[in-house]
A and B are shown apart, each in its own frame.
Chain A
Amino acid sequence: MDDPREDAPTDPYRTRGAFALSAFRRERASGGRFAWAALLATCVAVCVAPMGCGSSEEHAVAPERTQGSLPARTVRALQACAEEGTGRLRRQAYEIGFKVELTDDRVQAVAPKGPRLDDAGLERCMMNALRTMADAGFSTDRTELVSYGGHLPARGVLANVTVLPEIVKLAEVVVAGPGGVTIVVVVVVVVIAAVVLSEDKPQEEVVEAIKRWPRKVLEKCQPRFDECLGNQYQPDWNQEMFGEKKDCRSCFDECKKDKGQWPNYKCPPPGWKPN
């Protein structure tokens, strides 16, 4: 599912993620050297110069590391998606990109970038596979990440914490399904680390920090809201307490305020069978 926030002009991740992926695509198209030279030059021009002249940080680009690969378990999951879903594709070869946001070694969001598959189910399957990549063993080198802090532009100062983004491009993965349909999967990971800078907690900045619902919260809540709208009747066991019909909008609001936790107690998902 495409996230409309991707087009928000104030979203610094979009600028960085899109740039990284487009640079990567240019590299693929031209053999690589020119694109990487351009990327390096742009990083120097955009990251360093503005910090000296006080320009907006919105246009800064974080250095991109080209290292790492998807865990084997995630690759197998992607392959399983291909084996199950490529029969629904119309072409023989695809290249698809995903942006994965990672915080504290946890995947917070997965979004498609660039060309899409023409089967939403297969794309969702792949996004679900990527959502588990941290549990499957993917991790970033936190020490190295923090050491970049002096050179990275801050996304924004949140009270006594500065959020540092870093883009890590992973080795591409090629998966194939029945009939020889191949999909090149390109994954760019945006790593966000919080580094404590001082003990001061200016109230205004705390307020500013909580002013926006984090995108990851919306990404968790909105699919559940959609699901709720498609299945609005309470299961029998919940009707005495919460009536015949779920109040999906209220549950969505509660999910947002509860940092992305859907209130199963009053809007149980369809067919919810807890353990």
Chain B
Amino acid sequence: MAKLQMSAAGLETELNPMQEGDDMPSVDEPHPLCWFCRKKPATELYIQPKSTKRVCATCLDRLQVQDAYEHAWLHFLVLEDEERYEEVLAGIGAFLEANRHRDHDQWLARSITRDRSSVLFEAGRYAEADEACDAWGRFPFDNVTDRWFHGSAKAQIVQALGRPQEALAIFEEAFSHQDPRYASAIPYYLHWLVDFSDAVGQPVDEKWRRVAEAGAEDFAVEMPVRDSLGESMLALAEMTREMPSKRQREWEATHGGGTGEDKP
């Protein structure tokens, strides 16, 4: 089993010697495209406990860096829990420096900027968290849900800084970016509209009803009828949380329900 570790010297990722199993694909076998980017030739093996994937060298870096960073957070979370925020900030900063040369698509830099904002927010250092959040926002978003997530985080910081009206405006701007392909994520974000509106003593603006309805449609349900739009939104979020999205229903209808996750 391959195991990723941070080296003691420099927090770089390294891959332990692989133990090849009978079902392990060989790099010599013809496989035209990288499993991860589906663009470059797959020349490397990305080995995980439950499966091995053929990837290009660039994506191997990306995947190993992500694994190492996420597992490093198991340690950082302990520090964060003990309110040792400076150590967390120093740790993630050192991780970035040690792995920057492998961060070909800026995934690590973006993640660390986001997490830096989060740690600073938790430490109560809102002005710095705000700056880090802005820096995070300067990275390109992968999809609209990333933009919504950033908007909700930024709005939380601004609210903590005592500017609730601005917080609502920030989230509304982020949430105004819609993409029908991501309608299933809409219900997850509706409560922010309710929360930030509540904070300024306003009902949720009726202009968001259509967006909420799009979320309901994706789950093939009607918008719950409640006394206010905000309450309807919260009810919708609760109702759909354990329901399959349109995308999942369609995929299972055509593929028979296999998940494909971590298949050996």
Contacts and interface: CB of A to CB of B under 8 A. Distances in A.
Nearest to A204: B162
B124 A253 contact: no
Contact of A241 (B36, B74, B182, B261): B182
Interface of A: 4-5, 8, 10, 203, 207-208, 210-213, 218, 222, 225-226, 229, 231-245, 247-250, 252-254, 256-258, 261, 263-266, 268, 270-272, 274-275
Contacts of B185: 263, 265-266
Interface in B156-209: 156, 160, 162, 181-182, 184-185, 188, 191
Interface of B: 35-36, 48, 50-51, 63, 66-67, 69-71, 73-74, 77-78, 81-83, 111, 114-115, 118, 122-124, 126, 142-143, 145, 149, 152-153, 156, 160, 162, 181-182, 184-185, 188, 191, 241-245, 247-248, 251-252, 255, 258-263
27 contacts: A8-B81, A8-B83, A207-B124, A211-B123, A213-B122, A222-B77, A229-B70, A231-B262, A232-B262, A233-B51, A233-B261, A237-B260, A242-B143, A245-B36, A245-B63, A247-B111, A249-B70, A250-B114, A252-B73, A253-B114, A256-B118, A257-B118, A257-B149, A257-B153, A265-B145, A270-B261, A274-B243
B248 A249 contact: no
A238 B247 contact: yes
B162 A203 contact: yes
A271 B259 contact: yes
A244 B36 contact: yes
Contacts of B244: 274-275
Given A233-B262, A250-B149, A274-B248, 5 more contacts: A5-B81, A210-B156, A211-B160, A247-B66, A270-B262
A275 to B, nearest CB: 5
Q: Which of B184, B259, B261, B263 has most chain A Cβ within 10 Å?
A: B261
A244 B243 CA distance: 22
A226 B73 CA distance: 10
A257 B70 contact: no
B188 A271 contact: no
Contacts of A242: 143
Contact of B115 (A244, A253, A272, A275): A253
Nearest to B77: A222
Contacts of A253: 114-115, 118, 153
Contacts of B252: 237
Contacts of B181: 241
Contacts of B50: 231
Contacts of A238: 247-248
Contacts of A257: 118, 149, 152-153, 156
A236 B182 contact: no
A177 B192 CA distance: 47
Contacts of B188: 258, 261, 263, 265
Contacts of B145: 265-266
B122 A211 contact: yes
